[in-house]
Each structure stands twice: as structure tokens, then as C-alpha cells.
Amino acid sequence: MKMIEAKIEGLALDMTTNSPVVILAPTGLNKVLPIWIGHAEAWGIAMELSGVKSKRPLTYDLLRDVIDTLDATVERIEITELREQTFYARIHLSSNGQNYEIDARPSDSIALALKVKAKIYVNEDLFNISEDKADQSTAMPTDPESLRERLKKINPEDFGKYSL
């Protein structure tokens, strides 16, 4: 499986399902990968992207602090596969000369990567799946320009109201 580095292109709200979508884009390629996530996870990612700090540690802050306390480092996260309409991810950690791979949801992995400034990698095949298998009549457009336009129209309150 060939992994390519990706970045977060943005967050959007799929109006047909009222679900947040994180948009990943590979470095140097004109493709995107939308991954539908939960509202709480979208909130955590959005806070980190915008630099907003909470008064008390959130789940991703806690996870980062536990990793730091155990003297471990998040080397990278990988979005590895799509099975039965569910994306899978792996968090790669190192500690005291040992390497660990931890199964995780992509949304949690992405939020953690933002917290610790780790790189995000995606299985190259997933960018092709999103194009080949999308039902064009109901799917959100996945070309970068359509997504940019959609992101411009998103109101931050569309993700729900949470107090910090």
C-alpha cells in the first residue's frame, strides 16, 4: 500500500445527511478525499484549525498529554482503507526505541495529528475509490473547486453549538 502525504483542505457540512465532512488533499495532486465524521470530532478539528483553546482539556488534549507523559511521540497517522463504507486509520507511535501502531478512527487520528503536529498520510488507492465509486446524483462533489465554494458558504454554527 502506497501512502502519500495529505493535508486538511477544510471542513464542510453534507446538507443531505447533516454530517460534517473533513476534506483531505494529497500534497501536489489535484484530488480530494471526503471523510464523513461526527459533530464532536468536527468541532475538535475546527477548534485546532482555528487556534481556539478550551478552558479545560478536551479529549484530544488529554490523549496528547497521556502520550507526552509516557514519553512517546506520534510519528504519523495513516488513513489506510475503506471497508463497508467505513474508513480506517492507524496512529504510529514511538517510545523508548519501540514502534507501535494503534487502530483508530480517522477523525480522532486527524485531530490528534493536528494537536501534536504530526504528518497525515493516506493510502493512495483511497483517492481513486472516492472518484470511481461515488454516486454522482447524491454524492457531494469531490473536485477541489466545488469543495472550496461549498466551504465558503458554511456557517460555523452548522456544526452545532458547544460550550467550552
* pLDDT tens digits, one per residue of 47-89: 999 998 888 988 899 999 999 999 999 999 999 999 998 999 9
Number of residues in the chain: 164
Enumerate domains of the chain plus CATH numbers.
3-156 (3.10.690.10)
pLDDT band for position 134 (50/70/90)? very low
Residues 36-58 have pLDDT tens digits of: 999 989 999 999 999 988 889 88
Query: d(Cα 25, Cα 19) in Å, to the nearest integer?
Result: 19
Burial category of 144 from C-beta neighbours within 10 Å (exposed 0-12, middle 13-18, buried 19 and up)? middle
